[in-house]
Amino acid sequence: MEIATLLLDGFFLAFEPLNLLLIIGGVVLGLFIGAMPGLGSVNGVAILLPMTYLVPPTSAVIFLGAIYYGAMYGGAISSIMLGIPGASTAVATTFDGRPMALKGEADKALVAAATASFVGGSISVVLFTLFAPPLADVALAFSAPEEFALMLLAFATFVGLGGDDIPKTFFSIFIGLVFSAVGLDIISGEPRLIFMDLPGFFHGINFLVLAIGIYGIGEMLWTIETTKGKVKISQAHITVQRILDTLISLKNGIKVMIMGSFLGYFVGILPAAGATPGALMAYGVAKGMSKDPESFGKGNTNGVLAPEAANNAASTGSMLPMLTLGIPGSPTTAILLGGMVIWGLDPGPMLFVEHKEFVWGLIASLYAANFFAVIINLAFIPAFLWVLRMPFTILAPIIFVLCIIGGYAPTQDMHDVWLMLVFGIVGYLMRKLDYPMAPAVLAIVLGPLAETSMRQSLLMSSGSFEIFFFRPISGSIMAIAITLLFMPLINSFNKTMRREISSWPL
Amino acid sequence: MRRAELIMATLMAAFSLYTMWKSAELEIGWIPSEGPGGGAFPFWLAVGMFICCMLIFIRQFRQADEPINSLKNYMDRQTFVLFALVAGSLTITIGLIDFVGVYVAIPLFMIFYLRVIGDHRWLLTGTIATATPLLLFFFFEIALKITLPKGVTEPMFYPLYSMFL
């Protein structure tokens, strides 16, 4: 009952004229960002965060949350119409969405994607409302060792579940943490890691500089490379009647949508996993559940419904650990978390006590964003198709300019703009070699918290690492984290053993 | 690809060593009653980075199925030209901002990108190159009150400041 009252208060906040305007504006912007090939929620949030200084912090987070939501819907549009995923989270949508478009069923695929996104969004936001308060209550009992154990768990999920090359994942985590340590030592106040004695490093490396470098400049360089060939846009004939017919036909896919929503939500909570693997897993399960698995990949509507429900649910799922524990569940929420810290809203369980209004306003705005996203998405499909025809050579320089200004705005120091360019170029060159970038962004955001909690814990225990293992909560979290860290080793050992056994003469 | 991997691992290993050396400017061991020294956290992370680079290097070095001098799969000629044009123009633009400010450097960048890389018509190029700085000025300087760098063009903005701020 208390939740209902709090949520109602949240709705009052979300429906204040400015916030409502920002929700609708954010959703529209997010839909466009998501629809553009190569740009997803993380790019939109990273590039646009410095522009939100205009409004109060609560409204800024609501706006960015709405962009996040809109982008999740929009990602499907270019997956279906161009065959290029609008963002990595919509990769699985191309598998069946593109064949449907090529068969002349583009409208059906678009409506299916929007509907599934709505179902995924709705189920996940309800789950979020139910899970967030109890989790925050538990987290209130956490002190430094538990906090450190949680950070380690967040990094361990990248190693155990991220699916990327292991040494490269570790490298990405380490370098992100090192960048977070630049500036002044948090305890003694001495200057630390002032590379080449440049004075610009005294104020540390702002996480936005790395995020805009990688997700703005780096991503653009990547997209310029991948889309240099001509892209072919499919034709879609959309009428109200056809939309209604499609909606009715989707009732057969309800089971798939619900499965995708639950799967996506729970995968989304894990820091390394998030929307992309969530969507791919949901696609796999939908194929497994189907009586006709051969039709997948050839234009089966369920192949669009499952990943789209899952990626939207995952985006809400990833907000759960961010708000309740202060550990982001995805690169986008990592940037949101960094933004909240700038605005003086420390994410974590105390947020539910000290800034109740904000938390419930944000949750209510997710309900609202979900509602507006589906309406705007369906109503303006032709407008999004028009955007897809815009040459990338017009879009790219505009985004570059936004990156330059976005890199300058937070600290108003040209040093940061240069640093952003270096991160963008080096990040692009490393990404071509399959170095994962998300762990570094997560690490630079979590770094200061991880270092403080580790040093405080070690002070408490006079330097003994036992403190992390002999407290019930931190001990259990550490056990899971260590298992995840060793998962790749266990897997490769298993594989070798199996190969050995199968080569034995019987 | 293999050559690119080896070069990247070497460069990053060098950066790790440099980071270790910089971290060691502060205490990297244990300070009695104060806990770990200020340099300990980054130092041991840099050690971790170095080990990762070595692992990547050794693994690539032992992989004999690709010729060592191959960069072909990493970046073909067309990609390289495009990359050099974009990255180069961005570098020059940011360099120019220091001297002539955002409002000269950015339109020049837009004109270069739209005309040379995008091959768009002059009318479109001109419109976007004029509209961008105007929007930047009104959004950042007037609405957000964030002063963008103007270099030597600063005095030209005094009348605008008195008009809008």
Tell me the CA distances in angstroms from A372 to A163, A164, A378, one per residue in order.
35, 36, 10
Q: Are residues A281 and A263 in contact, defined by beta-carbon separation less than 8 angstroms?
A: yes
Q: Where in chain A are the domains?
A: 2-489
Element (H, E) at A191: strand A191-192
Residues 82-101 of chain B whose Cβ lies under 8 A from any Cβ of chain A = 82-83, 86-87, 90-91, 93-94, 97-98
Other beta carbons within 10 angstroms of residue A390's beta carbon come to: 10
- Across the interface, do B45 and A177 touch by the CB < 8 Å criterion? yes
Radius of gyration of chain A (CA): 23
pLDDT in the model for residue B68:
57
Average pLDDT over residues A8-27: 92
**Per-residue tokens: A57:** 């912090």
* % of chain A beyond a pLDDT of 90: 34
- Across the interface, do A404 and B94 touch by the CB < 8 Å criterion? yes
Give how far B159 is from chain A: nearest CA, Å.
Answer: 23
Residue A274, by phi and psi: left (phi above 0), alpha (psi -120 to 50) or beta?
left
Q: Over 80: is that where the pLDDT of A502 sits?
A: no
Which residue from B minimizes the CA distance to A171? B49
| One-letter amino acid for residue A335 of the chain | I
pLDDT single digits (tens) A202-225? 999 988 899 889 988 998 898 888
- B chain contacts of residue A394, beta-carbon cutoff 8 Å: 114, 118, 120, 124, 128
| One-letter amino acid for residue A19 of the chain | N
Q: Check if B5 contacts A (Cβ < 8 Å).
A: yes
Q: Over 90: is that where the pLDDT of A172 sits?
A: yes
Residue A85, by phi and psi: left (phi above 0), alpha (psi -120 to 50) or beta?
beta
- Across the interface, do B8 and A409 touch by the CB < 8 Å criterion? no
Which residue from B minimizes the CA distance to A166? B52
Q: Over 60: is that where the pLDDT of A506 sits?
A: no
Q: How far apart are CA A364 and CA A121, in angstroms?
A: 12
Q: For an interface test with B, which of A195, A205, A429, A458 has the most B Cβ atoms less than 10 Å from its Cβ? A: A429
| One-letter amino acid for residue A475 of the chain | G
* Strands, E assignment, A89-198: 183-184, 191-192
* Helix boundaries (H) for A181-253: 207-212, 219-226, 240-249
* DSSP assignment letter at A231: P
Element (H, E) at B31: strand B30-31
Q: So what's the ipTM on this one?
A: 0.94
pLDDT single digits (tens) A298-347? 889 999 999 999 999 998 998 888 888 888 878 888 899 988 888 888 88
Which residue from A minimizes the CA distance to B118? A393
On average, the pLDDT of chain A sits at: 87
Between B67 and A355, whose confidence is greater?
A355
Q: Over 70: is that where the pLDDT of A504 sits?
A: no
pLDDT single digits (tens) B59-93? 988 876 666 555 667 888 888 999 999 999 999 99
B63 phi/psi in degrees, rounded to 5: -80, 105
- A chain contacts of residue B132, beta-carbon cutoff 8 Å: 398, 401
Nearest CB partner across the interface for A167, out of B55, B90, B110? B55
Average pLDDT over residues A156-166: 82
- Across the interface, do A455 and B94 touch by the CB < 8 Å criterion? no
- Across the interface, do A178 and B143 touch by the CB < 8 Å criterion? no
